[in-house]
Amino acid sequence: MKKVLVLLLALVMACASFTSCGCQEINDLEKIQESGKLVVGVTVYKPMDYIDEETGEWTGFDAELAQAFAERLGVKCQIVIITWANKVAELNSNQIDLVWNGMTASDELGESIDFSVPYAKNAQVAVVKKGSSLTKDSIKNAKIAVEDGSAGHTVAEETIGATNIAKLTAMNDALNEVKGGTSEVAIIDLTMAESIVGKGEYADLEILSGASYGEEIFAVGLRKGSDLKAELDAFLKEKYADGTLAKLAEKYQVVLNEDALK
Amino acid sequence: MEMFLDVLSQLAGGFVTSFLLFILTLILALPLGLLVSFCTMSKFAPLSMLSKLIVWILRGTPLMLQIFAIFYLPGILRLFIWPQMNTGWEWFDTTFSTRFIAALVAFAINYAAYFSEIFRGGIQSISQGQYEACQVLGMSKREAFFKVILLQVIKRIIPPMSNEIITLIKDTSLANTIAVYELIFEAKEFMVIDALIWPLFMAGAFYLLFVGLLTIIFGLIEKKLSYFRS
């Protein structure tokens, strides 16, 4: 019976910590200096974080910045691939220190984790088959594919008000739905759409003109109350001021969120 | 062709991880399952109740949820973090990552729960008369179990065990939910990075071939164990 109680208690505590505000200051700086490495959680996401085919090393707008930030802290940068849906659990369970992956800073997410200065911006776009007769107004009643829990998912549900939504585990799956004809529209990131739609396997798809929604801002995710935030914000502003960010943005075709970085 | 070989080698690497997860789970779960089945059949009520409760929880919740809980909960509750291998041998350290260890623990205890019920069924299917006969022949309880009962149990549980074991190799794909770099994870990476869909189906062929091999092996084992024909 005692063990049952302990188990139940553990469950209750687990639920509590999922929802707790975590108001206390968290000494991440000390922890990182001690372990000698900054662990950054990413998914393979061009142009933010991906592996250079020639060198086999991580590269991309976010990866380069993360490495520069680790260097500034005087530690090694360890980039690990995570499952995107688990990012909050990864942070709260101390498996990773930062989520640096072109992450949209939404209000809901802001309740569980902290954000850095929003350094870049993006929009959600509708992708359809080339020659599709759908328009911005008619996609409301079309079959829409999205990545479950992504910003595109919110746009499809709230902004477009669609009811026929297929929730997939990745943005690529949403594109595959449109390619395969099981859905008519995919709502995905502009950054991602620009880099793969109309090329390779997705040559027969196109971005629906005029259907751009909810401009959003990208930020780095931190544990709630992490003392790393001040350091990170100072780093980003400094890199903006000295022109490094503008250079990277041009190299990787990312749109900087200049208002916040000034 | 170059792409095909590239995908093949990447998937083969993923399969090694899947296979290690499979074989290590078996090594841990088989003895653990036997132990749990003894606990379940124990005459000491609190022990059998507790073990029945644990089996109920492990069989009653999705394995995917158990993997998630075992990997993330210890850290969230600030109890401990799964250990990171640090031998300096890169292949070893990346293969047996914290994620792999957590997944292995989850698979081992989940499968031990299923195995324990198969063991229990097998053991209880042996008639009481045989125990009594052993007693008459002056064998101890231990002797009776290991020399007379166990061999018959093994023979009887081979078909349900082969079923579970075949399910296990496919279940290892659930580890991709905590980003263990197993076969399905590697195949999905091609979808994300190169916008290729076919590697996922090629991954299916890996499972299919391996299950074919397992089926042949279990067929041979069943033939070998055709003693005590009744």
Is B113 part of any domain? yes
CATH of the domain at B134: 1.10.3720.10
| A129, A117: one domain | no
Of B50, B77, B178, nearest to A83 by CB-CB distance is: B178
Structure tokens belonging to residue A112: 């569980």
For residue A259, the model assigns a pLDDT of 84
Judging contacts by C-beta atoms under 8 Å, the chain B residues touching residue A51 are 193
Q: Is residue B147 part of a domain?
A: yes
pLDDT in tens, B83-103: 888 888 888 988 898 999 999
Residue A92 sits in the same domain as residue A41: yes
B211 Cβ contact partners less than 8 Å away, ≥ 6 residues apart: B166, B169, B170
Alpha-carbon distance values, B69 to B75, B100, B125, B132 (Å): 10, 14, 35, 46
Quick count: other Cβ atoms within 10 Å of Cβ B139? Answer: 16
Q: Which of B72, B192, B197 sits opposite A93 (nearest CB)?
A: B72
- Domain membership flag for residue B166: yes
Nearest CA in chain B to A85: B177
How far apart (Å, rounded) are the C-alpha atoms in residues B218 and B224?
A: 10
- Residues A47, A96: one domain? yes
Q: How far apart are CA A47 and CA B175, in angstroms?
A: 27
Per the CB < 8 Å rule, is B75 touching A95? yes
Give tens-digit pLDDT for A143-188.
Answer: 999 998 888 998 999 889 888 899 888 888 899 999 988 899 999 9
Count structural domains, chain B.
Answer: 1
Reported as type and span, the H/E element at residue B204 is helix B198-224
pLDDT band at residue A7 using 50, 70 and 90 as cut-offs: low
Mutant choice from B7, B48, B192, B201 vs A, greatest count of A C-beta within 10 A: B192
Residue A4 pLDDT > 70, yes or no?
no
CB atoms A170 and B76 under 8 Å: no
Q: Which of B53, B72, B85 should one mutate to test binding to chain A, selecting the residue with the greatest count of A CBs within 10 A?
A: B72
Check whether residue A63 and residue A187 sit in a common domain.
no
Does some domain include residue A186?
Answer: yes
- Is A9 within a domain? no
Residues A114 and A224 in one domain: yes
Interchain contact, A200 vs B194, CB within 8 Å: yes
Q: Which pLDDT score is estimated for A142?
A: 92
pLDDT at A42: 95
- A23, pLDDT greater than 70: no
B188 contacts chain A (CB < 8 A): yes
Give the residue from chain B lying closest to A203, CA to CA.
B195
A235 and A115 together in one domain: yes
Indicate whether B123 belongs to any domain.
Answer: yes
Other CB atoms within 10 A of residue A76 CB: 14
Quick one: pLDDT band at residue B80, thresholds 50, 70, 90? confident
Residues in A touching B197 (Cβ below 8 Å): 176, 201
Claim to verify: residue A212 and residue A223 sit in the same structural domain: no
Q: Look at A140-149, A206-215, B48-57 and tell me which has the smallest mean pLDDT.
A: A206-215
The minimum CA-CA distance between A90 and chain B, rounded to whole Å, is 7
Please tell me whether residues A150 and A238 are part of one structural domain.
Answer: no
Task: Classify residue B60 by burial, with Cβ atoms within 10 Å: 0-12, 13-18, 19+.
Answer: exposed
Q: What is the mean pLDDT of chain B?
A: 92
Read off the pLDDT of residues B110-128 as tens digits, 9 standing for 90 and up.
999 999 999 999 999 999 8
Q: Is a pLDDT exceeding 50 seen at residue B55?
A: yes
pLDDT by residue (tens digit) across A81-93? 998 889 999 999 9
Taking only residues 93 to 112 of chain B, the set having a beta carbon closer than 8 angstroms to any beta carbon of chain A reads 98
Instruction: Output the CA angle A245-A248-A254, nearest 5 degrees.
Output: 95
Q: Which of B71, B76, B179 sits opposite A17 (nearest CB)?
A: B76
Residue A5 touches chain B, beta carbons under 8 Å = no
The pLDDT tens digits for B58-79 are 999 999 999 999 999 998 888 8
Q: Any idea which residue has 């008519």 for tokens?
A: A184
For residue A170, what pLDDT is reported? 86
Indicate the pLDDT class of residue B199, thresholds 50, 70 and 90: very high
Residues A229 and A188 both lie in one domain = no
Nearest CA in chain A to B80: A93
Q: Collect all residues with Cβ–Cβ distance below 8 Å to A136 and sequence separation of at least 6.
A: A126, A208, A210, A211
**Residue A1's pLDDT is what?**
58
Find residues 75-94 of chain A whose CB sits inside 8 Å of chain B.
80-83, 86, 89-90, 92-94
> With an 8 Å Cβ cutoff, are B81 and A95 in contact?
yes
Chain A and chain B share a number of CB contacts under 8 A equal to 72
Residue A53 is predicted with a pLDDT of: 84
Mean pLDDT of chain A: 88
Predicted confidence band at A21 (pLDDT cuts at 50, 70, 90)? very low
In a domain, A249, yes or no: yes
Note the pTM of the prediction, 2 decimals: 0.75
Cα distance from A8 to chain B (closest Cα, Å)?
Answer: 12
A130 and A255 share one domain: no
Asked if residue B111 is part of any domain, the answer here is yes
pLDDT tens readout for residues A90-122: 999 999 999 999 998 988 999 999 999 999 988
Q: Distance from A101 to chain B by nearest Cα, in Å? A: 14
| Structural domain that includes position B214 | 2-224
In this predicted structure, the answer to whether residue B182 has a pLDDT above a threshold of 70 is yes
Q: Are residues A204 and A236 in the same domain?
A: no
Rounded Cα gap, residues B71 and B105, in angstroms: 9
Query: CA B190, B191, B197, B200 torsion: positive or negative?
Result: positive
pLDDT at B145: 87
Question: Which chain B residues have a beta carbon less than 8 Å from that of A45?
Answer: 192
Query: Does residue B229 lie within any of the structural domains?
Result: no
* Residues 33-62 in B contacting A (C-alpha not used; CB under 8 Å): 50, 53
CATH number of residue A223's parent domain:
3.40.190.10
Q: Supply the pLDDT for residue A145.
A: 93
- Domain interval for residue A256: 24-121+217-261
Number of domains in chain A: 2
Token pair, residue B99, equals: 């994620």
Do A150 and A98 fall into the same domain? no
CB contact under 8 A, A92 and B189: no
- Two structure tokens written together for B107: 């698979």
Q: Tell me, what's the pLDDT at A256?
A: 87
> What is the per-residue pLDDT for B107?
98
Q: Are B65 and A18 in contact (CB under 8 A)?
A: no
User: Rounded CA gap, A116 and A73, in Å?
Assistant: 16
pLDDT at B170 over 90: yes
Residue A137: the pLDDT is 87
